[in-house]
Chains A and B, each alone.
Chain A
Amino acid sequence: DIQMTQSPSSLSASVGDRVTITCRASQGISNSLAWYQQKPGKAPKVLLYAASRLESGVPSRFSGSGSGSEYTLTISSLQPEDFATYYCQQYHITPPYTFGQGTKLEI
C-alpha cells in the first residue's frame, strides 16, 4: 500500500500569509494526487487534482506542484475562509485510496 505523509500536522498563520503544505508518498504516484479542504462539521471538498489542476470554482490563490513522490499545496495569500484542515489523497495505485493525516491551518 502507498503511505501518504503530510507535513506539518498543524500550522498557525495570519491573513495574507503564504503557506505551503507538503505531502510525501511512500513511492512515486505520477501526479495522481488530489487536495481537499475540510471545514468543521462539513464534508471534504476537492481543491486540486492531478497534483496541480485547479477544480472549477476554486480561487486561484490555491496552487499545487510536485512530481514523483513529493507534492505541495500552496495558498498564496491566506483569506479568513481558508482556515480549515487540508488533506492529500493518492489515487495512483488503488486499492486502497490513501489520505494524508491532514494539516490543520489555524489563525
Chain B
Amino acid sequence: EVQLVESGGGLVKPGGSLRLSCAASGFTLSKFGMNWVRQAPGKGLEWVASISDSATDIDYADSVKGRFSISRDTGKNLVDLQMNTLRAEDTAVYYCARDSSSFTNWFDPWGQGTLVIVSS
C-alpha cells in the first residue's frame, strides 16, 4: 500500500526554523516526483515545493523561495522540507503529496498533514 506520513510540525516563533519530514512507503521514491502543499486555517490549497524523480529539478512557490528547502533521502525513503525564517503567514497544515506517476503531475496520494503554527 502506498503511504505518506508527515511529521515535524509544531509551534515555532516568528523567525524560527522547523524541519518537516514525509516518510514514504509502498513505492520507490526515486521513480516519482514529490511535493509539499499547504493549507492555511480555513483557506484553500497552496503548492509550496516540488522535487523531481531524479532530484535534478527543484521548484518553490515565490512565497517561500529563499526560505524553504526541499530534499529527499532515497535510502531512508524520506522527503524533507526545511523551513527557515518562518512568518505568521506560514501557519498551515503541510501535506506531502506524490506525483501520480512518473509522467503525470497531479497529486496522488497525499499524506494526512502536519500542522505548523508560527506565533510568538
Taking the nearest CB of chain B, how far is it from the CB of A66, in angstroms?
Answer: 15
Verify if B45 is at the interface (C-beta below 8 Å from A). Answer: yes
What 1/0 mask marks residues of chain A from 80 to 99 whose CB sits below 8 Å from any chain B CB?
00000001010100111111
Check B46–A43 contact: CB distance below 8 A.
no
Report the stretch among A13-21, A44-52, A67-75 that lies at the interface. A44-52
A95 adjacent to B61 (CB under 8 Å): yes
Nearest chain B CB to A4 CB, angstrom units: 10
* Distance of A46 from chain B, by nearest CB (Å): 5
Say whether B104 faces chain A, with CB atoms less than 8 Å apart.
Answer: yes
Pair A94/B105 contact, Cβ less than 8 Å: yes
- Which of B44, B62, B113 is the one whose CB lies under 8 Å from A43? B113
Interface set of A (CB-CB < 8 Å, partner B) = 32, 34, 36, 38, 42-46, 49, 55, 87, 89, 91, 94-102
* Contact size range, B: 20 to 34
A67 to B: closest C-beta gap in Å:
18
A91 to B59, CA, bound (A): 14
CB within 8 Å for A46 and B108 given contacts A95-B50, A96-B61, A97-B50? yes
A34-B106, A94-B59 known; 11 new pairs, CB 8 Å cut-off, are A32-B105, A43-B112, A45-B110, A46-B100, A46-B108, A49-B104, A87-B44, A91-B106, A99-B44, A101-B44, A102-B45
Interface residues, chain B, CB within 8 Å of chain A?
35, 44-47, 50, 59-62, 95, 100, 104-113
The residue on A at minimum CB distance from B58 is A95
A43-B111, A43-B113, A95-B61 are contacts. A49–B106 as well, Cβ < 8 Å? yes
By CB atoms of chain B within 10 A, which of A38, A46, A95 has the most?
A: A95
Q: Which residues of B contact A98 (CB under 8 A)?
A: 47
What are the residues of chain A within 8 A of B47 when measuring CB–CB?
A: 95-99
Q: List 25 A-B contacts (CB under 8 A).
A: A34-B106, A34-B107, A36-B45, A36-B107, A42-B112, A43-B109, A43-B113, A46-B107, A87-B44, A87-B45, A89-B45, A89-B107, A91-B104, A91-B106, A94-B50, A94-B59, A95-B50, A95-B60, A96-B61, A97-B35, A97-B50, A97-B107, A98-B47, A99-B44, A99-B47
